[in-house]
Chain A
Amino acid sequence: MATMMGEIPPFLILLLGALATPLLPIIWRPYWMVLVPIVGMVNLLLIPHGVHWQVDVLGQTLTFGRVDQLGFVFCLLFHIAALLGQIFAIHVRDLSQQIASLMYAGGAVGVALAGDLLTLVLFWEIVGVAPVLLIWASKSKEAYGSGMRYLLMQLLSGTLLIAGVVAHAHQVGSIEFDYIGLGGVGGALIFLAFGIKCAWPFFHGWVVDGYPAATPTGTVFLSAFTTKVAVYALCRGFPGTELLVYIGAAMATFPIFYAVIENDLRRVLAYSLINQVGFMMVGIGIGTELALNGAVSHAFNDVIFKGLLFMSMGAVLHLTGRMNGSDLGGLYKSMPITTVLCIVGAASISAFPLFSGFVSKSLVISAVAEEGYTVIFLALLFASAGVFHHAGIKIPYFAFFAHDSGIRTTEPPWNMLLAMAIAAVICVFNGVYPSVLYSLMPWPVDYEPYTVTHVITQLQLLAFSALAFALLMISGIYPPELRLLNLDVDWFYRGPIARFVGSTVNRSMQLGGRFMQALNRGALKAIAELYRYHGPSGLMARTMPTGRVAFWAVVMLAVYLVLDFVFM
């Protein structure tokens, strides 16, 4: 086994690990879940850069292992995320969640190393479908609906990708997955497919609808993989596409308004996830080495600190069964360690100096400034202040402080604390020693985050955001946490579109039903007639061959009838 390390395709370890899980005794499974990503990570670290595992299928060469620094960083990140998520979920005894979470990670790793577009499609679909089980595992009516809507958007992305790949391959005569650009129809379709998975505005409904519906542990996986897989894909296929700068700025700003008035704290985090991915979009859109390094390093940090925040909220949900800001508060008394760990995540996402967000977000903002995008620069500053406001202050404040809800609980199980503690250590480590993170980047990083100007201006921005929060709270202007939901894009497909589709389907079902009835009546009549002529005593049975043909026709009709009943 040891000698094989470095020779196994990374996705295979995770996928086979997932498939082997049911064979193990129930009590071993959670530890197996932890072991698999560790083995995967060791294997990954031993793979030399280059092209590996090429397979010829139907005249096309599929590349399952294009290992360069860009793919490697994301691959490493996905392994770390899988490991943290699995440690966090050690107490879970649900086989479907266990299999789904490992397959999900395997799909993400597969995308990061896919050297051609067909391999990309294959893993893209795994990343699309596997996580639905993590939403459905909540076993509520709402979760079922959210999962369905989630699946719908993922399948839309997958379908657009397939169409785009076919068109693109036809146009350029190659299925290689490298720079694609918006040169043709294929490129545009692929761009849109990636965008849906990135939760672009108007396609972001599945994030804010699906993520809060998943299980406490499931959301941790969801937040790590899907959008970051798409960030990777855009980094690979569309660097320097200017449209992304504007899309990213919109993503960085609009969700923070929602986050301020949202009551479900995991949905607040879902909005803030879109906000952070917005920064990555801007970085990819700018497309300079500084900007792309910014997008990649921020994706890396975001997976860890967003994971930490989702874990801390998952722990609260696991212990109290509640997730609304209006129902929580005062939990610092019974969960002091979780409170501190959550604050580390909050400080990281807010880009406090010495925390991870500070050293990666600033790469993107500096790149924006260097290229002279004044309005985008101001928008990102606004988004930076806003993210501190809603994720940095609101999340810890309403969960652990604010008014005492009277809820008394305990710290979460050891495994949850351990996963959060490891994530918190990474957040601080990356903030204090950014050179390690920078050394992993695809391009050389010539950037010093800890300049006097940067530290002081960032502290000014954050301190005065906190001041605004405090004054708005004291004056009673700050909107209270209310048990309300806020309409978002999912309204369209839960409302008008659903009704339209529903009524159309209903009508066509009725029409189809009538057609089928008529057909059935016809078929029954036909059988009776056939039996009369071709049955044992029938006229046509006197000649054997004709009788046999007729017999088989009857059998086929019978099969048709059976199928008809089964599928009606």
Chain B
Amino acid sequence: MSDYHKSTSDEANEGHSHGDGWFERPETVRWILRSLYATCLVLFLADALYKKKVYFDFENWFGFYALYGFIACVVLVLISKQLRKVLARSESYYDERSDGNDDG
């Protein structure tokens, strides 16, 4: 824990700005995203190139795994966002409650 060190704003002004890292450069992010899009496209089209060996008929649908993965994650995130509205509490939620109990 003693190794912990947070750079101050002074240091940031001296050239160690937060946008400094390779992964934060817009061109890197653009490059990563383009590679991802290209990979997805190639993998989606790969279904045309081979005969799947599957257990269920629906697995043979063109791009089934690709679409299922995409839709699954979008649904996952959208439901989770709604879940947060119901379940999220402040970090001190249990402390406040137990303090209340102690007083009572």
Contacts and interface: CB of A to CB of B under 8 A. Distances in A.
Contact of A485 (B37, B56, B80, B93): B93
Given A465-B72, A486-B84, A369 B79 contact: no
A366 B33 CA distance: 32
A477 interface: yes
A409 B1 CA distance: 10
Contact of A483 (B59, B84, B91): B91
Interface stretch (A119-127, A448-456, A534-542): A448-456
B23 to A, nearest CB: 6
B22 to A, nearest CB: 9
B80 A260 contact: yes
B66 A464 contact: yes
Contacts of A472: 73-74, 77
Given A410-B3, A464-B70, A468-B69, A456 B24 contact: no
A403 B53 CA distance: 42
B56 A377 contact: yes
A319 B1 CA distance: 5
A330 B87 contact: no
A500 to B, nearest CB: 12
Interface residues of B, number: 58
Interface string B79-92: 11101100111110
A371 B98 CA distance: 49
Contacts of B89: 484-487
Given A261-B81, A468-B74, A409 B5 contact: yes
Nearest to B8: A406
B36 A385 contact: no
Interface in B38-92: 39-40, 43-44, 46-47, 50, 52-56, 59, 63-70, 72-74, 76-81, 83-84, 87-91
Q: Is the interface of A mostly helix, strand, loop or mixed?
A: helix
B7 A408 contact: yes
Nearest to B59: A457
A407 B6 contact: yes
A548 interface: no
A333 B63 contact: no
A464 B37 CA distance: 9
A370 interface: yes
B101 interface: yes
Nearest to B88: A484
B36 A466 contact: yes
A487 B43 contact: no
Nearest to A499: B101
Contacts of B24: 330, 404
B49 to A, nearest CB: 9
Given A404-B18, A461-B65, A479-B84, A456 B70 contact: no
Contact of B4 (A319, A467, A477): A319
A453 B53 contact: yes
Nearest to B72: A385
A463 B88 contact: no
B39 to A, nearest CB: 5
B21 interface: yes
Contacts of A479: 77, 80-81, 84
Given A257-B79, A320-B4, A385 B84 contact: no
B77 A385 contact: no
A482 B101 contact: no
Contacts of B98: 145, 494
A401 interface: yes
Nearest to A467: B40
B46 to A, nearest CB: 5
Interface string A232-270: 000000000000000000000000111011000000000
A193 interface: no
A409 B52 contact: no
A488 B86 CA distance: 11
Nearest to B94: A494
Nearest to B46: A456
List the 3 closest pairs (A to B, CB-CB), nearest first: A468-B73, A369-B55, A464-B69
Interface of B: 1, 3-7, 12, 18-21, 23-24, 33, 36-37, 39-40, 43-44, 46-47, 50, 52-56, 59, 63-70, 72-74, 76-81, 83-84, 87-91, 93-94, 97-98, 101
14 contacts: A257-B76, A258-B80, A377-B55, A385-B69, A385-B72, A386-B72, A389-B76, A408-B5, A463-B69, A485-B88, A485-B90, A486-B87, A486-B88, A486-B89
Given A461-B66, A463-B40, A485-B88, 5 more contacts: A378-B68, A386-B72, A408-B6, A462-B69, A464-B69
